[in-house]
Structure 1
Amino acid sequence: MVHKEAAARIKINKLLEASGWRFFAEGNQRANIQLEPKVTITTQDIDILGENFEKVTRGFIDFLLLNDKGFPFIVLEAKSEEKNPLAGKEQSRKYARSQNCRFVILSNGNMHYFWDLERGNPYIITSFPTPDSVIGYQKVSSDPQCIIDEQVGDDYIALTQRPNYFAEAAWKNEEERSDYIQSNKLRFLRPYQLKAIVALQKAVKDGQDRFLFEMATGTGKTLVAAAVIKLFLKTSNSRRVLFLVDRLELEDQAKKSFAAALANDYKTVVYKENRDDWRRAEIVVTTVQSLLFNNKYQRLFSPTDFDLVISDEAHRSIGGNARAVFDYFIGYKLGLTATPRDYLKKFDTTSNASKDPRELERRMLLDTYRTFGCDNGQPTFRYSLLDGVKEGYLINPTVVDARTGITTELLSDKGFIVTITDNEGENQEEAYKIREFEKRFFSDATNTLFCKTFLEYALRDPVSGEIGKSIIFAVSQNHAARLTQVLNLIADRMFPGRYQSDFAVQVTSQIPDAQQFTINFTNNNLLGSGNFMDTYRTSKARVCVTVGMMTTGYDCPDILNLGLFRPIFSPTDFIQIKGRGTRKHLFLDQLFDDNVSSSVRHPQKSAYMLFDFFANCEYFEEKFKYDKKIKLPEQRSKGGDEPDTGTGAIPEIYEHLGEDILASVKEETIGAEGMKIDRMFFERFEDVILENDFIAASVEAGQWDRVIDYVNHEVFDKPHEYYTLDKLRKAAAVDRRLSLREILEKIFGLIPRFKSKDELLEEEFSKFVADYKPEEAEAIPAMKHYFKAYVTNDKVRHIINTKHFTELATNPVFSTRDLRAVPDKYRVIIPEYIKDYVSLNQFAA
């Protein structure tokens, strides 16, 4: 095993040097790595040291990493590659205490743990922390009792905004108090928001460091997050907080919210590359995509730079590769989500279900709950839409279920006729192709009927009497353009002279300044304001027609009408879209004429209309059958290029009868880089993608559903190059099945390269170890072998699932002896874990 020990040592050396640790003095910077007390080395020793480093007198070797004053700071224990780094945990604890060190790093070169002895358990890291980062981290007191004991009242945020508000005359006078709160924009926590904080404090008391708040859209998750941030910063359990969002437009929105609530005590910045603002701020807001780009999170940040990481819309912002960003940082973790796990509790997890698009949604939600330590399905705190309506904070919709003759036909037992593209870029077809679907559903007659119905039944603005502000969700950008035109034509007839084709506006990613349009719509100045009344501030544009831009996190409380002009297949999308209308609103706040105010009969928003032309509400609220199987298209033959004889028979072998013969036969093994023609094909595809402004903008905004849909329908299968996912997979020359998203992430530099099958397996197994923390360290190799065999081999999987274990006796991949080496309980745990959390599709050849 000498080579494994040396290999581990070399990897550890490189990781140390990459993180700024020094074996030798550099200029005026002294060496800060000490191998053992009184041990010195030369430069020639670095690459060969450790040929047998575990067989020294003490049985292991410790590295001492020194602080800027040369004192012992971190103990690093190195193990050989085949050993679990946790095997020497107690030895390193004893040695760290003898050296008065608070921190320990455990590593075998491939898997690494950072352990704060004052904080709890070792935490898996993917790179070593930098000296400066740990010095800063050491300043955090890390006393959970302070979090538990902190008194949090409803004025917890208000005390930061205006510390002496309670002593001011306007507050003491009850008649002036409401205006005083509004003019100073004071934020008070609602009772259920206080309960969320109390639930977190209780979880900390129970020894937890991960939390999940499941709160309906419109219940103030960002304000609760601000209170949590203050709780951790004020009690010195955090010196810097990272707030992750999944869309570009949510960065500024979050920054403004935190600045409004906490600016007097803490600085908030949006992270920008090549700027050090984040080092001088307590709250850093950024998108997951920004940190993933070229592995920026690993290059520019240390695992100890943030003591609290909050993930907004958690199951979106930590899905797929994004979880690597979230897990990279050490410390407390809080997830915020509006999507109840209950929506997916009935889903069938059989192997065939893995290609159902809803199965991807299920995996993301399950992974979210597991990531935040809620394996039992119960979040740290839950506040549902029903809770909000019952307590008077939210509004339920009035559903207008309208179906044409065509939609009624297509809502029969045959189900929706549509092509669905899942998150991995795979098309799941049912009955019709997308062109025929659009042709039948979205003819001019159908669009006109939908729009006419919408405008006839839409709620009116209670002050001006015009059509209330509305959002319509279309199938595609083309469909949005057509709906916008129809709405403007009808509005011109309904309200002669009032609008100049500015009643409805297309707000999709292909429209210049579309993002600013969404902001202007919220601020009531989209294409002007006060069209009906000069003293009333409301957007002249009344309807925004979008596809997906105004769903997650979009806050526009005076929305009165929502239109679902498309079928919806994701419960998350359904909840988010429905949530755009649930907030309450006082319309008098926009009116600047006291004489008119008294005549407004219903100034408070008490309802909103949800127009549903495709029975989405019925589908999700009453008949959402998660165990329904989606019929997949027939698989093509593996060869794909065999000549068709019409009979299915293998064509006869050609017999050469001529005199000429082959001069020579030469075999050439194609390496991992593939053939040149394959590489050129892939490079041409890269150029096509990078030159497309719509794709680039959508990737930057994190709108992967639109990117994948666009590539499938606008780039693939075109006559000029005839790009297909299968061709790109072959050109990439990777030993597993790549998803379209992975290919696009590679093109845009969000991942440096395609990971091999074994690298992915190692990652998945590391996640398993991090979750279950097996105490049987000596059995880790056997468990890993079991894990990999179950994931990659259909036959092994069948044997395990059916419990026909005798068949393992003749199995060349995984034998009976291999199974015996796996502890009994993990023979059950590992398959169940894989069924729930590992997508087998990506490991197919």
Structure 2
Amino acid sequence: MSLRKEATARIKINRLLEAAGWRFFDDKNGPANVVLEPNVKLKPEHIESLGADFEKSAKGFIDFLLLNKDGKPLIVLEAKSEDKDPRIGKEQARKYARSQNARFVILSNGNIHYLWDLEQGNPTVITTFPGPDEIKNHYAFEPNAERLFAEKVERDFIVLTQMPGYASEAAWKNDGERAAFVEKQKLRFLRPYQERAIQEIQKSAKKGATRFLFEMATGTGKTLTSAAVIKLFLKTRNAKRVLFLVDRLELETQADKAFKAYLKNDFTSIIYKEQRDDWRKADIVVTTVQSLLFNDKYRRLFSPTDFDLVISDEAHRSIGGNARAVFEYFIGYKLGLTATPKDYLKQSKKAKSTERDPREAERRMMLDTYRTFGCESGDPTFRYSLLDGVREGFLINPYVIDARTGVTTQLLSDEGFTIETTADDGTEIKEAFGGRDFEKRFFAEATNQAFCRTLLEHGMRDPISGEFGKTIAFAVSQNHAAKITQILNELADQMWPGRYQSDFAMQVTSDVPASQQMTINFANNNLGSHSGFIENYRTSKARVCVTVGMMTTGYDCPDILNLALMRPIFSPSDFVQMKGRGTRKHSFTEELFDPVQKAARGDVQKTAFRLFDFFANCEFFEEKFEYDQELALPKPAAIQWW
């Protein structure tokens, strides 16, 4: 009997929806605007015979999701069998509606129906279902630059979404408990410069600008700032849906996770590849440019009006080349983000031939990016440099050590590393090699030994445990990374006998299984398990990650104390990103579990980090660079073999 009552209720609800103008299938009036629970395969001839499974709420399925004309969630319809009061599904429906960012709920058993505006009052009895045109969508797209400008953006702009009533909480009102309360609730207040960035967009938009560019140093919170921009546009109805473009898979997950943490109470964020069939339900769609380019997907599956705000992370990468077509396809506001300083737009004075200068191609790409975002003058909409962050106490400037050798100096000259050889016919031949050749042709074991020993002897130590500080070493290739890792582990076994079991250094490159998880574990202080140097202290047993390019853009590991550039870097943006892995501040005391130890130590802050430059990279990117320290590496013949 129960199954029959469920089926009867479903048939009645289907008919009521159709009578109100809702469509289960595409027809001459437009596309389908009713989405059923995901495990129901519905065909037109079966529409009146279904119903047996719609009551399976334990799996968390929405019975009916009604969409507005833009394909976004408008109404969650919670169905119950005829013999049940539909209001028993009230809290379940509220949860579903919040998860979909739908404002309205219908509760129905086929005979009795309630309409509920979640923002206004309680469920009200209705006799017929409202049609698509009879209910106002609070996400109606009405762009208005004046409304955008008038929106007040203060430091708690994001927090008011995370916890609207935070200011009324007792722990917030108590000065002694406030810091712990903010940390526990993971509330993210905007910093003053982030507020200024948003305000610059507001002022530019009021003047008629539709394109904006933020130049913000690594570690200054571009994702949080982006979240504030997204909220501003969605809240003021200057965008109904936002596209966030990245150029690497790991950044996709990172951005989506952040947007959920900051905005989930008001807006829905998804990764496109994970929800290809229902991306229209989301306010924020995160994807890689490559995903949309594949098989011309962006043209086949999207309309130019599907996104009203497009944000491009590391803009000169995610809109370069073919990716520009994706970026320009969508109509609306455009925001570019970059960490590469304006100074790198200057043409190198050292290069004898700019066509051969590896910086030139990226310089041109950056200039093109500035033009794309309406910044032909070279001045972005908003700029916040590494030096700005250091001056205001938000970032740490590196202590840069010049550790080049004669070989590495020549490799970075304009001509490359030049050697003379004799051909078969006896003629003298000069052969030049660039950076891509050196690992294969010139890297002797002794040179790698010198690099590793220099790093271990001069690298910073952890201020709590005294062990070698967490380090990222950038190698030339995966083979080179394997060599460096082996040498570091051999040296560690000599310096700290019995302490490590070939896990002092670990290779973290794309051909290593689970390498992506290794980067996460290193950031979470659990790579190779926890260190045993000191009790009740959370830090990673593995002290050095040797990588090529995985741990650059967007990798957040604030307790890094040493960076080793064991490779030449020719890309300005790569150089900025690698250097930026160490600029974030960190409190080491927070990793202590024992309150007594923590109190005795006080607040031990990261105040510096060391950048070991084995290839004069800093000098390569600047006309003149003054190193903080110079180390004279031994000549290969004098290097001891271990």
User: With structure 1 as the length reference, what TM-score do the two structures score?
Assistant: 0.55
Equivalent runs, 1:368-767 vs 2, <5 Å: 368-407=369-408, 431-432=432-433, 437-438=438-439, 441-600=442-601, 603-623=604-624
Task: State the Cα deviation string for residues 814-845 of structure 1 (Å, max 9, x = none).
Answer: xxxxxxxxxxxxxxxxxxxxxxxxxxxxxxxx
Task: State the Cα deviation string for residues 194-240 of structure 1 (Å, max 9, x = none).
Answer: 10011001101110011000000000110100000000111111111
* Cα gap change, 1:325 to 1:408, in 2 (>3 Å): closer
Take 1:457 and 1:31, find their aligned partners in 2: how far apart are those partners?
A: 69
Take 2:494 and 2:184, find their aligned partners in 1: how far apart are those partners?
A: 41
Take 1:177 and 1:416, find their aligned partners in 2: how far apart are those partners?
A: 58
Q: 2:196 maps to which residue? A: 195
2:216 aligned with 1:220: no
* Cα gap change, 1:591 to 1:214, in 2 (>3 Å): same
**RMSD (Å) for aligned C-alpha atoms:** 2.9
* Cα gap change, 1:554 to 1:416, in 2 (>3 Å): farther
Task: State the Cα deviation string for residues 785-809 of structure 1 (Å, max 9, x = none).
Answer: xxxxxxxxxxxxxxxxxxxxxxxxx
2:290 aligned with 1:289: yes
Could you tell me whether the CA contact under 8 Å between 2:409 and 2:616 is conserved in 1? no
Could you tell me whether the CA contact under 8 Å between 2:412 and 2:435 is conserved in 1? no
Take 2:214 and 2:443, find their aligned partners in 1: how far apart are those partners?
A: 40
SS for the counterpart of 1:272 is: helix
Take 2:264 and 2:380, find their aligned partners in 1: how far apart are those partners?
A: 30
TM-fit CA distance, 1:340: 1.7
Take 1:486 and 1:364, find their aligned partners in 2: how far apart are those partners?
A: 38
Take 2:143 and 2:524, find their aligned partners in 1: how far apart are those partners?
A: 42
TM-fit CA distance, 1:414: 5.6
What is the aligned-residue identity percentage? 67
2:28 aligned with 1:29: yes
Take 2:189 and 2:466, find their aligned partners in 1: how far apart are those partners?
A: 33
Which one-letter code corresponds to 2:569 in the other structure? I
Take 2:441 and 2:518, find their aligned partners in 1: how far apart are those partners?
A: 31
Take 2:561 and 2:163, find their aligned partners in 1: how far apart are those partners?
A: 34
Q: 1:257 maps to which residue? A: 258
Give the number of the structure whose residues are more often helix, by fraction: 1
Q: 2:366 maps to which residue? A: 365
2:146 aligned with 1:145: yes
Q: 1:319 maps to which residue? A: 320
Q: 1:770 maps to which residue? A: none
Could you tell me whether the CA contact under 8 Å between 2:417 and 2:434 is conserved in 1? no
* Cα gap change, 1:436 to 1:415, in 2 (>3 Å): closer
Take 1:221 and 1:437, find their aligned partners in 2: how far apart are those partners?
A: 36
2:174 aligned with 1:168: no
* Cα gap change, 1:181 to 1:565, in 2 (>3 Å): same
TM-fit CA distance, 1:545: 0.4
Q: 2:13 maps to which residue? A: none
TM-fit CA distance, 1:274: 6.7
Take 2:26 and 2:185, find their aligned partners in 1: how far apart are those partners?
A: 54
Take 2:484 and 2:355, find their aligned partners in 1: how far apart are those partners?
A: 35
* Cα gap change, 1:548 to 1:278, in 2 (>3 Å): same
Task: State the Cα deviation string for residues 270-307 of structure 1 (Å, max 9, x = none).
Answer: 11267333211111111111111111111111111111
Could you tell me whether the CA contact under 8 Å between 1:401 and 1:613 is conserved in 2? yes
Take 2:337 and 2:584, find their aligned partners in 1: how far apart are those partners?
A: 18
TM-fit CA distance, 1:402: 1.3
Could you tell me whether the CA contact under 8 Å between 1:241 and 1:306 is conserved in 2? yes
TM-fit CA distance, 1:474: 0.5
Take 1:209 and 1:432, find their aligned partners in 2: how far apart are those partners?
A: 46
Give the number of the structure whose residues are more often strand, by fraction: 2
Could you tell me whether the CA contact under 8 Å between 2:417 and 2:433 is conserved in 1? no
* Cα gap change, 1:201 to 1:417, in 2 (>3 Å): farther
SS for the counterpart of 1:431 is: strand
Could you tell me whether the CA contact under 8 Å between 2:410 and 2:417 is conserved in 1? no
Take 1:215 and 1:336, find their aligned partners in 2: how far apart are those partners?
A: 7
Q: 1:811 maps to which residue? A: none
TM-fit CA distance, 1:193: 0.6
Take 2:147 and 2:324, find their aligned partners in 1: how far apart are those partners?
A: 29
Take 1:189 and 1:409, find their aligned partners in 2: how far apart are those partners?
A: 46
Take 1:138 and 1:490, find their aligned partners in 2: how far apart are those partners?
A: 61
* Cα gap change, 1:313 to 1:530, in 2 (>3 Å): same
Task: State the Cα deviation string for residues 90-125 of structure 1 (Å, max 9, x = none).
Answer: xxxxxxxxxxxxxxxxxxxxxxxxxxxxxxxxxxxx
TM-fit CA distance, 1:435: 8.5
Q: 1:91 maps to which residue? A: none
Task: State the Cα deviation string for residues 129-176 of structure 1 (Å, max 9, x = none).
Answer: xxx9xx999930111111100001100011111111111111111111
2:346 aligned with 1:341: no
Task: State the Cα deviation string for residues 421-445 of structure 1 (Å, max 9, x = none).
Answer: xxxxxxxx97137796335642111
SS for the counterpart of 1:530 is: coil
Could you tell me whether the CA contact under 8 Å between 2:435 and 2:568 is conserved in 1? no
SS for the counterpart of 2:593 is: coil
Q: 1:177 maps to which residue? A: 178
**Structure 2, unaligned runs of 5 or more:** 1-24, 32-67, 70-132, 420-429, 626-642
Which one-letter code corresponds to 1:527 in the other structure? G
Take 1:408 and 1:415, find their aligned partners in 2: how far apart are those partners?
A: 9
Which one-letter code corresponds to 2:326 in the other structure? V
Equivalent runs, 1:40-55 vs 2, <5 Å: none
Take 2:298 and 2:411, find their aligned partners in 1: how far apart are those partners?
A: 47
Take 1:190 and 1:433, find their aligned partners in 2: how far apart are those partners?
A: 43
SS for the counterpart of 1:378 is: coil
* Cα gap change, 1:410 to 1:367, in 2 (>3 Å): closer
Take 1:598 and 1:381, find their aligned partners in 2: how far apart are those partners?
A: 41
Take 1:612 and 1:433, find their aligned partners in 2: how far apart are those partners?
A: 18
Number of residue pairs aligned between Structure 1 and Structure 2 = 490
Which one-letter code corresponds to 2:283 in the other structure? E
TM-fit CA distance, 1:401: 0.9
**Structure 1, unaligned runs of 5 or more:** 1-25, 33-66, 69-131, 419-428, 625-845
Which one-letter code corresponds to 1:544 in the other structure? C
Which one-letter code corresponds to 1:179 in the other structure? A
TM-fit CA distance, 1:601: 7.0
Take 1:406 and 1:356, find their aligned partners in 2: how far apart are those partners?
A: 19
Take 1:220 and 1:588, find their aligned partners in 2: how far apart are those partners?
A: 23
Task: State the Cα deviation string for residues 11-66 of structure 1 (Å, max 9, x = none).
Answer: xxxxxxxxxxxxxxx9951699xxxxxxxxxxxxxxxxxxxxxxxxxxxxxxxxxx
Could you tell me whether the CA contact under 8 Å between 2:347 and 2:360 is conserved in 1? no
Task: State the Cα deviation string for residues 369-402 of structure 1 (Å, max 9, x = none).
Answer: 1111111111000000010011111000111111
Which one-letter code corresponds to 2:618 in the other structure? C
2:283 aligned with 1:277: no
Take 2:138 and 2:304, find their aligned partners in 1: how far apart are those partners?
A: 10
SS for the counterpart of 2:610 is: strand
Take 2:455 and 2:570, find their aligned partners in 1: how far apart are those partners?
A: 22
Take 2:418 and 2:226, find their aligned partners in 1: how far apart are those partners?
A: 41
Which one-letter code corresponds to 1:497 in the other structure? G
SS for the counterpart of 1:462 is: coil
Take 1:186 and 1:366, find their aligned partners in 2: how far apart are those partners?
A: 37
TM-fit CA distance, 1:531: 2.6
Q: 1:307 maps to which residue? A: 308
